[in-house]
């Protein structure tokens, strides 16, 4: 019997199939999700369901849909989809949705990202805990859902052309200079969406020459993990950009809601620089607007937002916190160090594709190479995220805090210490593993390395 507390995380459902969860658990979760919607008078009488390329995704999605239908709502099945395509469906149809994906996790994993109508997020504090309790009660009673067969219909729709058309209206790429673009889809859903949005299958041709890497949909990930946050998974893209003399490289994660960028030299462009670049573009269209940035994005992000007349607002790490803060402030844009990018014009949801299009537009509207353009938004030296396995996380954090009594402390999300010379670090615990995650930034490399090594030495004693 599935113990749903092992797979229902802070923002979504995630676990190995079939040992941690299976189609019976998926059906119970579908019924519980619909019970929550019905109890809160969620508008509409249908739920949108999409899934990624993993071998287990169609079966899990079908079981979830049966649970939804048993509780009295119909299902709109959009089939293969990226997560941001599911958000587009939820937003444009104003219906709740469920996306079956484990994002960048290995092949044996699968999961569900659920949202309310208008792509509003569901996390532990906004319904996910209740869904878990309801579904667990169904499983414990021996029923995956209440007795009786599903009676509501399933409607199959292809929304990929509508999604592509919507994004193309938000960012017009038709007038940019010709660009050669290497795209590494990692055998994930970028291989499904990129051709229709940017490539040969696009509604109208763009001045882009797309060089595809690993566009074949394959949930076993035969080439490399679909997790561009790990530098090892960028190596093929970096090599291909240089070999093809490309202007830019793009790497999508498994469900294609995140996008990483590589410049013409094959060097990664930090997500903080992309956040600042897109923020500047959005502020040019919407002067004076609020822009949300994650707690551990570069200090340059807030500086550049202010320089372009915007109002920077910091938020905790995690999409539910970013989305909630964006909705509260009506922010035009939001970005995180993990390469999640959120747009008011996209129902405050995250879409790697739209961020990629903004980057292509910024590059193609002028003649500078990407390394020079991105350099305008890179002002500090960052360590990247470094994980340490620590049994007593609280003691380790307390020891680090005591070592820097004169630093300015912030405990919004873990421990952030800031120093008079502009250096800072954030040390925070993982929600799911015995890990402490460290991010360090400083004005110079020597200062960053010195601070990084000193903190790690204290954490790992």
- Which residues are catalytic, by number? 103
Distance between CA atoms of residues 233 and 230, nearest Å: 6
**Residue 181: what are its φ and ψ, rounded to 5°?**
-125, 120
Phi-psi region of 256 (alpha: psi -120 to 50; beta: other; left: phi over 0): left
Q: Is residue 369 within 8 Å of residue 249, measured between CB atoms?
A: no
Among residues 181, 193, 187, 2, the alpha carbon closest in space to that of 86 is found at 193
Hey, what are 278's tokens? 């897109």
Hey, what are 301's tokens? 């992000």
DSSP 6: G
Distance between CA atoms of residues 410 and 317, nearest Å: 14
Distance between CA atoms of residues 405 and 14, nearest Å: 39
Residue reference for tokens 């009786």:
148
- How far does CA 52 lie from the centroid of its chain? 15
Q: Is residue 40 classed exposed, middle or buried when 0-12, 13-18 and 19+ CB atoms within 10 A define those classes?
A: exposed
Q: Is residue 332 within 8 Å of residue 65, measured between CB atoms?
A: no
- How far does CA 306 lie from the centroid of its chain? 25
Among residues 203, 188, 163, the alpha carbon closest in space to that of 78 is found at 163
């Amino acid at each position: 019997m599935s113990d749903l507390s092992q797979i229902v995380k802070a923002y979504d459902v995630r676990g190995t199939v079939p040992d941690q969860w299976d189609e019976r658990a998926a059906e119970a979760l579908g019924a519980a999700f619909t019970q929550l919607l019905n109890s809160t008078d969620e508008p509409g009488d249908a739920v949108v369901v999409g899934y990624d390329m993993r071998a287990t995704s169609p079966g899990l999605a079908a079981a979830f849909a049966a649970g939804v239908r048993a509780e009295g709502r119909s299902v709109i099945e959009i089939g293969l989809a990226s997560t941001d395509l599911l958000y587009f469906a939820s937003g444009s149809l104003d219906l709740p949705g469920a996306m079956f994906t484990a994002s960048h996790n290995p092949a044996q994993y699968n999961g569900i990202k659920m949202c309310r109508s208008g792509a509003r997020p569901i996390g532990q504090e906004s319904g996910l805990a209740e869904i878990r309790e309801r579904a667990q009660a169904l499983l414990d009673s021996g029923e995956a859902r209440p007795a009786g067969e599903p009676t509501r219909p399933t409607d199959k729709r292809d929304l990929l052309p509508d999604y592509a058309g919507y994004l193309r209206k938000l960012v017009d790429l038709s007038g940019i200079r010709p660009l050669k673009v290497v795209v590494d889809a990692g055998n994930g859903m970028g291989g499904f969406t990129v051709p229709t949005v940017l490539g040969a299958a696009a509604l109208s041709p763009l001045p882009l020459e797309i060089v595809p890497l690993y566009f074949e949909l394959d949930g076993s990930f035969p080439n490399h993990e679909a997790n561009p946050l790990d530098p090892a998974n960028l190596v093929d893209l970096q090599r291909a950009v240089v070999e093809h003399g490309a202007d830019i490289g793009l790497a999508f994660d498994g469900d294609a809601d995140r996008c990483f960028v590589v410049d013409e030299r094959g060097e990664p462009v930090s997500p903080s620089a992309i956040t600042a670049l897109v923020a500047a573009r959005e502020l040019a269209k919407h002067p004076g607007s609020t822009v949300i940035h994650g707690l551990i994005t570069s200090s340059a992000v807030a500086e550049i937002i202010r320089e372009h007349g915007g109002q920077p607002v910091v938020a905790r790490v995690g999409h539910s916190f970013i989305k909630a803060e964006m909705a509260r402030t009506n922010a035009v844009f939001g970005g995180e160090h993990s390469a999640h990018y959120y747009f008011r014009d996209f129902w405050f949801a995250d879409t790697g594709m739209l961020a990629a299009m903004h980057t292509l537009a910024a590059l193609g509207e002028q003649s500078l190479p990407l390394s020079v353009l991105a350099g305008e938004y890179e002002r500090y030296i960052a360590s990247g995220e470094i994980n340490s396995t620590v049994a007593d996380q609280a003691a380790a954090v307390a020891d680090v805090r005591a070592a820097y009594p004169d630093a300015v402390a912030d405990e919004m999300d873990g421990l952030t210490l800031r120093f008079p010379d502009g250096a800072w670090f954030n040390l925070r615990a993982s929600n799911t593993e015995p890990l402490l995650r460290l991010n360090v930034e400083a004005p110079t490399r020597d200062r960053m390395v010195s601070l990084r090594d000193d903190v790690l030495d204290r954490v790992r004693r």
